[in-house]
Structure formats: C-alpha cells, structure tokens
Amino acid sequence: MTVTFLGMPADRPFPRNAARAVRNSQLRFNLRKATRTIRARRASVVAEAPDWAELREAGRAIKEHTLRNLDRYLVQLEEAVTAAGGHVHWAADAAEANRIVAGLVKATGETEVVKVKSMATQEIGLNEALREQGITAYETDLAELIVQLGDDRPSHILVPAIHRNRAEIREIFSEHMSGWGRPAPGDLTDDPAALAEAARLHLRERFLKTKVAISGANFAIAETGTMVVLESEGNGRMCLTLPRTLISVVGIEKVLPTWRDLEVFLQLLPRSSTGERMNPYTSMWTGAVEGQEFHLVLLDNGRTRVLADEVGRQTLRCIRCSACLNVCPVYERTGGHAYGSVYPGPIGAILTPQLRGMGSELDRSLPYASSLCGACYEVCPVAIDIPSVLVELRARARHPWAERAGMAAAGWVFERSGRLARLQRAGGRLRGLVPRRLPGPLAGWTDTRDLPEVPKESFREWWDRTDGGRR
Amino acid sequence: MRVALFVTCVNDTLFPDTGRAVVRLLRRLGVEADFPRAQTCCGQMHFNTGYRDEAVRLARRGVAALRGYDAVVVPSGSCAAMIREQYPKLAGPSGPFADAVARLVPRTYELTEFLIDVLGVTDVGAYFPHRVTYHSTCHSLRGVHLGDRPLTLLRQVKGLELVPLPGAEECCGFGGTFALKNADVSAAMCADKARAVLDTGAEVLCAADNSCLMHIGGMLRRQKSGVRVMHLAEILCSTETAGAR
C-alpha cells in the first residue's frame, strides 16, 4: 500500500505528543477558552433551529447517496465544469496533485500565488511542494497567515491558530510580516482591531499584485459545475475574484448532486462550525469568466480506499466543520499538533489512520486518542458515528504484546464464573498487599489516582453467604 | 415478573456495596431480584480496546446467563449501553445468538430506568441528609440516554440537598483502558472534573457508574479532599433506620 501524505510528520505516538501538550499551561488555557466559546455559540444556534434533527438526517442521507454514486457524480461534475469553460484534472495522490498545480502555475509565468484557506492543499503539502519549484504561496486567511508567519503548523481545522493568543500574534506580526511583504506598524499593540488592521494592510497589497490564486471548495455541485466556498473574512473572495488564474484543489468527496442540496448544507455548516446562522461570505463560481482561467484538480489521495470500507466510509461524509474538535475533551487538553496530521480531533483520529494506513506508531495510536465519550457523534452535522469507527479501527490495529497477554488473561477469567469467584476470593485475602503505586503501564493510574480498596467479600460471596441478604 | 440483577464485574469484584444496595432497594419496592450465578463481564473492556473475538465470547456467555428473565437490571449506564447498543452489532443480522440478543435488549434496564419506567416510582422512600452532586457519566447520558431520571430520583430523597455540577455532561477521562493508554490526558480531564466537584461544596459525588466514580474518587482521595463518591443506588437504598451500608 502506498503511504498517503497528510501534511505533517508522523513520528511519535499520540500519548507522547499529548503528554507534552497537557503540561503547557498557556496552551491549555488558550484551548479551553476558545473551544468553550465556540461550543457555546454552536449550542445556542443549533438549539434555535427547530428542524435540526431533520436537517442532520437530510445531510447524512444526501452525502450517503452521493458517496454510493460517486463515480457518476464525478463524471457529471467534470462535464459541467468543462462545459462552463473550466479545465478538470484528476490527481490520484498528493504528489500528482502537487505536480499538476505546480505545472499550471509555471505555465502562467508567475512565481507567486495567493491562497484561500483550504484543508485539501494542506493535506497534500502544496505550499512546500511549490516552494521546491520556486513558487511562493501566500496564505490569506487571517489565522493561516498567523500560522505561516510563525513558521508553525495548524492545530484546528477551522481556527488553525487556536493555540495562539493575541499577545503571541502581536509578536509574530511584528517579527515576521516584513519578511513576507508589508511590515507591521512599529507601534503594533495586541488589540484585536489593531492586529486585524495590520493584517488587512499586509494582505491588501498582496491581493492587488498577485495573478494566480489557489483554493479548495466546501462543495462542488455536479449538476451545474459550481464551486462553493464559505468563509468569514472576505479574503477568500479577494483571491477568488481578483487573480487571472484560479486553481481549486478539491477532494472527490466534496461533490453534491444538485444545487438544491445546498439548502441543507448552507444551514448545517455555519451553525456547526463557527456557530453562526449564516457565514459572512459565500462565494460561488461556475467555470471561468472571460479573461480568467479556472482549473479544478480533483483529489483522491486515499479516499477511494476509504470508500471501499464498509464501516469507515461514513468518514467521507465529513464537511470539515470541526464541531467534533470543539466538544472533544481530549482535543481540548492536547490541541491539534498532538494528532500529527492536518486533521486533528475526533475526525482526525478516524480519518488519518484510514487515509494513511496504520503503519506508524502514531497512526496506530490515533484510534485510541478518545475516551469514547460520544460527544463528537452527538454534534456531528452529518451523523458520523465516530466512536463506532474508532472501535472498528482499534479492532484492526496491532496491539502491544503485554496488552494482548493482559486481555487474554482477563478473557480467560471471565470465561467461567468459577474462575472469577476464585480470583475474587484470592483478592479478598491478599487485599492488604496491594501497593499504592503500580508498576509499568499501570503506573499511569496510580501516579495521580488512588486505587479502590479491594473488599473483603465480593458481591457474589455475599450473595451465597446470605442467600441474597435473606439470611 | 422474573427480574435478574446483572451486577457487572466491576461492582461484583470491587464495589459489592452497590450490588447489595440494589438488592435491598428492589426488595423494599417489592421486587425479588435473582442473581444468575453464571454472569461475569459484559465484554465492554475487550470490545472498546479492540479485542472483538473475546468480546463476542463474553457477550455470548452474558446473553446465555441472562436468558429467560422478564427484566434485567443493570446498576451501570455503561454496561447497560454495551448490551443495548453493541450486542446487536456483535450478533449480526440473524442466527440463534442474534435472536437471543434481540430478546434481551428490550428487557435490559439501567437501574433508574427500571425504577421509573417499569416500577413507576420516583420516591423510593430514601433518606440521606447530605449535600450531594451528580455526575451524568457519558454512557448514562449518550449511551442509554437516562436523561433526568437520576436527578428525578435524587430530588425525592428526604434530607438530601442536591447541588448542580458545572459541566456535568463532560467526560471525566476514565474511558476504560483510555485511562492507562492516555494516562496524561485522562488525568488532566479528571483533574478538571475533580475541581468542578470541589467547587460545588458537596460532601458526596454520585453517579450511575462505579467505574467513572472509581476514577474521579481515586483522584479526590489522592488529593485528600474529603469528598466521598457513592453509587446512586447506595443513596437510594439509605433510609432513616438503616445507613447505606
């Protein structure tokens, strides 16, 4: 199986990354504040939609139908985009997509591109691939700009700089803006309005002089060939309208059959992601207008393999809203970097190991990065049963030998009630000998928590001795 | 009505007080529960950790042990959810095991469901003069959907002062083997939960799951906080004449 690249190095297992993250109190504070704010906003706008359950079911059903007929809808999309004057390219993996995009940029003779916030281009590591070809990609989403200027990695799907507070952002702008274009003003404060103004001036210059733009798309309508991008800042629309050449890299699962299907998703997505009834900017374009060129790069990069999996394929319904990240108690404590992929949180824990396979220690550890509390499933606008997929992936993972031995021993004891009873009696007799601290992997419990006292008599023994309390 | 108690392996082995409390509480309400001796573990630990074959073997044993009863009472939201939500998936669409699971699932009740939905009682005649807060464990909340049943029962307990737990619906970080495999994150979640409990000023933290209580209680005890953890059944069993234990 080829290794699918997901925009981040995957060297250490999740628990080790997480251990480092939970000890960073600034990160814990930033994340707690940010996720709780978005979580509350989402809850309030979802609560006011009386038909939320029906919308969610409709979203699930439309995506399910589309995925089952993806071959047909993708060809229909290609025909519609081509008929409207666009060019369609097919990319089997990250390397091919990067090669196509770099070739298209080079053909324009330009060496600079502006980018609309896009998960697909991060997934394939497009910026790095373009840099190798002498092309500089400028991120124009405010949060992506912060990440790029700080030579950092995104830690959230929707709010990639969620791990940064405004003091850190002021430092990043002051130090690094000058290296990328118009510098930040010398007297820059950490007032949000001042930070936004510095970014606005910096980006405005960039928009006006760049001839090529690269985007992703939230939705691609097969019926009409229309691309749809939802955003908050208007910077995306600058990229989508000003440059002469527009290249959109879109995962094949982003297709919707008809224009009308947007009715459902334009309600589900903003409420689930930013906690807004409607996002400020929804840009739609069909093919190319006169004087401009439009290229659509349809990206597989492991998706067909996921689609073939009976349990895992529901993962492809994801519309990248990040509601699951914002309610996840694990994500809230670790942040996104611990997941070693551009897709963090609960959705990342099921998407990454499916796209990339479970060859590395990190990817094998991701399905375990959850307490299975179920909060993610509850908020998912397309009803992806994330806990069930996690458990399915766990069943396919290779387990460490000590754990296998422990599980086999427990299974053997539970196989016969007599064995359990004998173990309980032995435990009751030896109860004074249980140490306060346990060795090996069990120390993870006793480092911070006391063990429960072993009772003198199990329930079973009590029942037998007293005839269920009647004696 | 033939009623079986599925006490769960955790309660059987580590928290027999909870099992005794369920037996006595049901007896007080006129129900003589049977304890099928062949029962052991529902298989949730194996299932959730990715050991499906062992989980299926334990599920088959569990289903056989609980056969023939009109109702099965489980003093654990988590183990009740395992039976109701996961057994049908493990059993598949047809065959004798699937048939047995299909008979068992609608007869399986978490304790508070059995009290309110089957027996129709909300006041169980309990007396517990303490300040209590309730943690709605994840599988009670999102697995078997207990809703406000536990709170309804607690509100009727004489002498009990119920204080709300901020963020009660958030996971405590137990998650079975998660507490060992991701010990640092688990402990961080537990620390936040423990602080929320202490902020309420409650003397007792109760829940419908002893596994989560073992986790939070283990940290509260390590911190020498003085807050006790108790299964909901033990509070409901307490009366003016007899203590919980």
pLDDT mean over B117-139: 98
Q: Does B92 touch chain A (CB under 8 A)?
A: no
Q: Taking CB atoms and an 8 Å cutoff, what residues of chain B touch A440? A: none
What CA–CA distance (Å, rounded) separates B5 from B19?
8
Q: Does B149 touch chain A (CB under 8 A)?
A: no
Q: Does A28 touch chain B (CB under 8 A)?
A: yes
What CA–CA distance (Å, rounded) separates B194 from B215?
10
A451: DSSP letter? P
Question: Are the Cβ atoms of A18 and B184 closer than 8 angstroms?
Answer: yes
**Which of A 317-356 lie inside 8 A of B, CB atoms?**
329-330, 333-334
Instruction: For A246, list phi and psi in degrees, rounded to 5.
Output: -120, 125
Q: Nearest chain B residue to A28 by CA: give it.
A: B188
Q: Taking CB atoms and an 8 Å cutoff, what residues of chain B touch A415? A: 40, 57-58, 61
Q: How far is A166 from chain B (nearest CA, A)?
A: 25
- Positive or negative torsion for Cα A66, A70, A75, A81: positive
- Chain A to chain B, count of Cβ pairs less than 8 Å apart? 199
Q: Nearest chain B residue to A431 by CA: give it.
A: B14
Beta bridge partners of A219: A228
Which of the two residues, A434 and B107, has the higher pLDDT score?
A: B107
pLDDT of residue B240: 85
Q: Does A280 touch chain B (CB under 8 A)?
A: no
Q: Taking CB atoms and an 8 Å cutoff, what residues of chain B touch A22? A: 184-185, 187-188
pLDDT of residue A338: 95
Q: Taking CB atoms and an 8 Å cutoff, what residues of chain A touch B49? A: 394, 399, 403, 407
Question: Alpha carbon A50 to chain centroid distance?
Answer: 28
The pTM is what? Answer: 0.95
pLDDT of residue A9: 56
Segments of chain A with pLDDT less than 50: 1-2
pLDDT tens for each residue of B176-227: 999 999 999 999 999 999 999 999 999 999 999 999 999 999 999 999 999 9
Scanning the structure block, which residue is given the tokens 């405005």?
Answer: A204
What CA–CA distance (Å, rounded) separates A313 from A68?
10
What ipTM was reported for this prediction?
A: 0.97
Q: Which residues have CB under 8 Å from A461's CB, separation 6+?
A: A421, A424, A425, A428, B16
Q: Does A43 touch chain B (CB under 8 A)?
A: no
What CA–CA distance (Å, rounded) separates B229 from B215?
10
Q: Tell me whether strands A226-231 and A281-286 are parallel, antiparallel or unpaired.
A: antiparallel
Q: How far is A414 from chain B (nearest CA, A)?
A: 6
pLDDT of residue A2: 47
pLDDT mean over B57-68: 97
Q: Nearest chain A residue to B65 by CA: give it.
A: A417
Q: Does A427 touch chain B (CB under 8 A)?
A: yes
Q: Nearest chain A residue to B142 by CA: give it.
A: A374
Question: Are the Cβ atoms of B48 and A372 closer than 8 angstroms?
Answer: yes
pLDDT of residue B10: 98
Q: Do residues A305 and A2 lie in contact, with contact meaning Cβ atoms separated by under 8 Å?
A: no
Q: Tell me whether strands B71-74 and B108-110 are parallel, antiparallel or unpaired.
A: parallel
Shortest CB distance from B188 goes to which of A22, A374, A415?
A22
Instruction: Give the closest residue to A120 by CA, choosing from A235, A253, A246.
Output: A253
Count of residues making up chain B: 245
Q: Do residues B39 and B65 lie in contact, with contact meaning Cβ atoms separated by under 8 Å?
A: yes
Question: Are the Cβ atoms of B13 and A375 closer than 8 angstroms?
Answer: no
Question: Alpha carbon A180 to chain centroid distance?
Answer: 27
Locate B161 and state its tokens: 């002062």
- Packing angle between helix A25-47 and helix A262-273, nearest 10 degrees? 140
pLDDT tens for each residue of B209-220: 999 999 999 999
Locate A427 and state its tokens: 């435990």
Q: Does B187 touch chain A (CB under 8 A)?
A: yes
Q: What distances in angstroms separate CA B218 from CA B78, B211, B224, one per listed residue?
A: 19, 10, 10
Domains of chain A plus CATH, in order, are 14-303 (3.40.50.10420), 402-466 (no CATH)
Report domain extents, chain B. 3-118, 131-237
Question: Are the Cβ atoms of A374 and B183 closer than 8 angstroms?
Answer: no
Q: Does A47 touch chain B (CB under 8 A)?
A: no
Instruction: Give the closest residue to B127 by CA, choosing from B150, B157, B95, B147.
Output: B157
pLDDT of residue A289: 85
Query: In the sheet that B161-163 helps form, which strands lie side by side, from edge to edge?
Result: B161-163, B131-134, B204-207, B228-231
Fold classification of B131-237 is Rossmann fold (3.40.50)
